[in-house]
Chain A
């Protein structure tokens, strides 16, 4: 076969290969040349299943809300307040450390979605899109990413169970 006849074949085969390379490059290259690195650690809670979170940030401080259900109207999963755990995530080392409520209360917090250096904490996607083969799709919602300045990086956060919404961001820790 002459080269001219092969051009459509070569271009056709190259398109998916180039797209795979482009997708991989768009994910990994910005990480290599990242100019702005996240600086602010953050506080989060896991296993807090109450209707709405029992923890919130008010005036820069962590507050714990009391909840009474003497009549036992709510299902047990909603009342598992004792299982809630607080963590501080170190964005530089990408690791989490569990802390007590008293320790968390002493932190100076910023509950804005975006950190002062322009990053935010987001969940992964909920599904794989309209996948035509075998009906399989997987959700990445339990994976947590730090996103900003055109990059996103997976965070090694602690999660007590594989449960939707187990992770709750509470606030950025002011340095």
Chain B
């Protein structure tokens, strides 16, 4: 079909109200997605992987240089070697990204900048007399990085900035809440961490869902870490004898089954895998906690083993029927 013929067909369909503008736009987007050069919309090739490996090695080199020469260099050299390198990598990334053929190389430089800039900011704050390990300083550093990459995303619309914004935003969330709480005795360190991990996991899942149509790889990353954190936190909140929490122990199987069933709707293997693994972990935990004394350890093991087989089979069946296909 010729292009003019196709356009004529669309005009005709539009006149008869058989097609909407959104459907045409969606079809265009789906078609053009395969040719996009950005790094998270398609699978990485060998060349792209090498770009990122190279970026990680550059980061390693800078880190070792800073570590080896920490005592011998002045403040200016330290800042130039760290923050300067990070800013330079960012600028190189911007310059490369302007050329469509070099966009992936540009992303690799953004990757270097995201790795090096936190070290640079630590050096700056450390030399300015701040306690670099304190939550206040961590909140400042993560806040600056989060704002930098969020603004970068709004300006350049690159997916790599979405990823960095999420990572630095998560860091900011944890360090800032730690900063607010300090060491207040009303907050148990571990429980507080678990509730925040629960919230962060849920946020990742929802962000992944909202990005699933346009940015599948990024959505997959968010789903994996989201469900891992969410179920992990819910599992840990259940506690262990003698400090178990009955509410979370009762709610957890619902959450794990919910994750397994959601995997069908979301077409997400990570939901299925982590949902099944956590459910298996839960079965073992509950068997150990509640049934070993009444049923006896050998019988409880048989029961747990049978239940694990059932969960494994359901997981395999769902994957084959709904996800792989």
Q: What residues make up the interface of A, taking CB atoms closer than 8 Å to B?
A: 5-6, 8-9, 11-13, 15-16, 19-20, 23-24, 26-27, 122-134, 136-141, 143, 145, 147, 150-152, 154
- Nearest Cβ on chain A to B178's Cβ, whole angstroms: 6
Interface string of B176-215 (1 = CB under 8 A from A): 1110111111110110110110011011111101100000
Residue B153 CB within 8 A of the other chain: no
Residue B174 CB within 8 A of the other chain: yes
- Nearest Cβ on chain A to B203's Cβ, whole angstroms: 5
Count contacts on B: residues with CB < 8 A to the other chain: 40
Report Cα–Cα, A2/B239, bound state, in Å: 42
Given contacts A130-B190, A143-B183, A152-B185, 5 further A-B contacts (CB under 8 A): A12-B209, A16-B203, A125-B185, A129-B190, A129-B193
Q: A20 to B177, Cβ gap below 8 A?
A: yes
- Nearest Cβ on chain B to A52's Cβ, whole angstroms: 24
- Nearest Cβ on chain A to B122's Cβ, whole angstroms: 8
Q: What residues make up the interface of B, taking CB atoms closer than 8 Å to A?
A: 118, 131-135, 138, 142, 169, 171, 173-178, 180-187, 189-190, 192-193, 195-196, 199-200, 202-207, 209-210
Q: Which residue of A lies closest to B194 (CB)?
A: A129
Contacts of A125 in B (CB 8 A): 183-185, 187, 189
Report Cα–Cα, A138/B178, bound state, in Å: 10
Contacts of A127 in B (CB 8 A): 189
- Nearest Cβ on chain B to A153's Cβ, whole angstroms: 9
Q: A27 to B180, Cβ gap below 8 A?
A: yes
Point out which of B187, B190, B202 has the most chain A C-beta atoms below 10 A from its C-beta.
Answer: B187
- Nearest Cβ on chain B to A75's Cβ, whole angstroms: 29
10 A-B residue pairings within 8 Å (CB atoms): A9-B206, A20-B176, A27-B184, A123-B183, A127-B189, A133-B142, A133-B174, A133-B175, A138-B135, A152-B186
Q: Report the 5 A-B pairs with minimum CB-CB distance, sorted nearest first.
A: A140-B183, A124-B183, A12-B206, A9-B210, A129-B189
Point out which of A23, A24, A123 has the most chain B C-beta atoms below 10 A from its C-beta.
Answer: A23
Using A15-B203, A129-B189 as known contacts, say yes or no to A141 and B210 having CB atoms under 8 A apart.
no
Using A19-B199, A128-B135 as known contacts, say yes or no to A140 and B182 having CB atoms under 8 A apart.
yes
Contacts of B133 in A (CB 8 A): 136-138
Task: Among B174, B182, B193, B199, point to the contact of A124 (Cβ < 8 A).
Answer: B182
Report Cα–Cα, A131/B197, bound state, in Å: 11
- Nearest Cβ on chain B to A175's Cβ, whole angstroms: 25
Contacts of B173 in A (CB 8 A): 16, 19-20
Contacts of A5 in B (CB 8 A): 210
Point out which of A127, A132, A138 has the most chain B C-beta atoms below 10 A from its C-beta.
Answer: A138
